[in-house]
């Protein structure tokens, strides 16, 4: 005899409750009825019970102290370098922004330059800035994911 499709979800819920030891008396009677009446339910119950027993006896192996020492040194180095890059990047952004602002300010304030020339110079500065940021961003993100980048000579 095979378990009807309409009853499979009910059985699985009871099975999980039984495995976790959270089944009530009424649910237990219904569960035992499933297990006694349907061989597929009994087999699934036995598989899960065996799995639970095996996982109870499993333990993680404890790493040697040297492994932990290397781990913490690596974490410290990554945090230190990451923080260094963040501070360096912030400094560069501040200096480039200030320098760009002063350059644009002096171009706009120069009465001898034509309006078209001013617009052209500002466009060149803006375009170069966008290109530098784009290339830097691409290099940074590519370096994180391209595992062959260091091996290729250009």
What pLDDT does 42 receive? 92
What pLDDT is recorded for position 151?
A: 58
Q: How far is CA 60 from CA 48, 57, 64, 70, in A?
A: 21, 10, 13, 19
Domain spans of the chain, in order of start: 5-57, 85-145
pLDDT of residue 6: 87
pLDDT at 16 over 80: yes
Q: What is the pLDDT of residues 18-51, one digit of tens each?
A: 998 888 888 999 999 989 999 999 999 999 999 9
- What is the rounded CA–CA span in Å between residue 62 and residue 40? 39
Q: Quick one: pLDDT at residue 18?
A: 92
DSSP string, 4-17: -HHHHHHHHHHHHH
Specify the higher pLDDT residue, 45 or 76: 45
CB 35 within 8 A of CB 19: no
- Helix intervals (H) in 38-64: 39-57
C-alpha of 92 from chain center: 28
Examine the pLDDT at 114 and tell me if it is beyond 80. yes
> Is a pLDDT exceeding 80 seen at residue 73?
no
Q: With contact defined as beta carbons under 8 Å apart, do 14 and 30 qualify?
A: yes
Q: What is the mean pLDDT of the chain?
A: 84
């Amino acid at each position: 005899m095979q378990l009807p499709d309409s009853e499979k979800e009910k059985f699985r819920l009871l099975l999980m409750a039984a495995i976790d030891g959270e089944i009530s008396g009424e649910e237990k009677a219904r569960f035992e009825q499933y297990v006694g009446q349907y061989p597929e339910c009994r087999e699934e119950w036995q598989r899960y019970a065996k799995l639970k027993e095996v996982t109870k006896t499993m333990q993680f192996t404890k790493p040697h102290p040297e492994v932990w020492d290397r781990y913490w040194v690596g974490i410290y180095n990554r945090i230190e370098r990451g923080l260094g890059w963040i501070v360096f990047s912030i400094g560069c952004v501040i200096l480039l922004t200030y320098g760009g602002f002063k350059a644009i300010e002096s171009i706009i304030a120069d009465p001898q330059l034509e309006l078209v020339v001013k617009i052209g110079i500002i466009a060149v500065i803006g375009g170069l800035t966008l290109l530098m940021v784009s290339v830097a961003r691409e290099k940074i993100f590519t370096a994180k994911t391209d595992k062959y980048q260091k091996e290729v000579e250009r």
